[in-house]
Chain A
Amino acid sequence: MRDFYAWVAVGLIVFASTAGDVLLSYSMKKVGDVGELWKRRGLLHVIGRILSTPTFLLAIAGFAVAFYSLLFGLSWGDLSLVAPASASLTFVANAVAARIFLHERVGRRRWAAALLVAGGVMLMAL
Chain B
Amino acid sequence: MTFRKYLVLAGITVFSATGDSLLARGMKVAGSVSPHDLSGLIFSILNPWVAAGILFLLAFFASYTSALSWADLTYVLPASSLGYVLVALVGRFVFLEQIPFTRWLGIAMITAGVGFVAAGPSVTARHPHDSEQAISQEARS
Contacts and interface: CB of A to CB of B under 8 A. Distances in A.
B72 A102 contact: yes
A1 B83 CA distance: 34
A63 to B, nearest CB: 9
A44 B65 CA distance: 15
Nearest to A56: B65
Contacts of B51: none
B125 A110 contact: no
A99 B117 CA distance: 15
Contacts of B81: 91, 117, 120-121
Given A22-B73, A91-B77, A104-B72, A123 B102 contact: yes
Contact of A112 (B68, B88, B102, B116): B116
B73 A113 contact: no
Determine chain A's interface SS by DSSP, over half rule.
helix
B139 interface: no
A72 B36 CA distance: 10
B125 A105 contact: yes
A95 B81 CA distance: 14
Interface residues of A, number: 44
A110 B120 contact: yes
B106 A121 contact: yes
Interface in A20-65: 21-22, 24-25, 28-35, 50
Interface in B1-29: 4-5
Nearest to B131: A29
Contact of A120 (B74, B106, B125): B106
Contacts of B73: 21-22, 25, 94, 98, 102, 104
B86 to A, nearest CB: 12
Contacts of A99: 74
Contacts of A121: 81, 84, 106, 110
B47 interface: no
B25 to A, nearest CB: 16
B117 A109 contact: yes
A50 B66 CA distance: 10
5 contacts: A28-B69, A116-B113, A116-B116, A120-B111, A121-B84
Interface of B: 4-5, 35, 38, 64-66, 68-70, 72-78, 81, 84, 88, 100, 102-103, 105-114, 116-117, 119-120, 124-127, 129-130, 134, 137
> Would you list the 5 A-B pairs with minimal beta carbon distance, nearest first?
A120-B109, A123-B106, A75-B35, A116-B113, A124-B106
